[in-house]
Amino acid sequence: MERSDLELCLEDYFAGQCKAWGVFQDRFGKLRRQFEVDITGTWDAQTQTLSLVEDFHYYDGQEESRTWTIVKQGAKQYSGRTDGVKGTANGIINGNSLHWQYHFALRMFGRTFVLHFDDWFFLLSDGMLINRATVTKFRILIGQLTIVFRRQPES
């Protein structure tokens, strides 16, 4: 059943605490990484800026933190930056979905590769948010990233 009444609003969804679970599969479908993310979001209405602090906990024991600064550019448009993003990430909301694209410098195998991320986020009626990202280099598929987000109750 399709729900046309759902509207995604990044600053509403991510303000406060959020938890996410994700997997990365290579181009052959092989599971390469699993992780959980604790996210703290702060919305500044005056500057139209959403700050997202992401603390990654990989199942192999590695931990990583990343802070996104996302600026609302218009009613449905956003731009964002974080360490590793080359240039600016850009996104457009349409109803319950966000299309978000950027280039990211990722360190692998002792080298740094600049990869293109083409993300689609979908808000579901139960408040879950699903993200499916296609990761490419020179338009060649590297893998797929799938993340499920759930807002956490206020304490």
pLDDT digits (tens, 9 = 90+) for 59-81: 999 999 999 999 999 999 999 99
Low-confidence ranges of the chain (pLDDT < 50): 1
Q: What is the pTM of this model?
A: 0.92
15: left (phi over 0), alpha (psi -120 to 50) or beta: beta
Query: For the chain, which residues make up each domain, given as ranges?
Result: 10-149
CATH number for the region 10-149 comes to 2.40.128.20
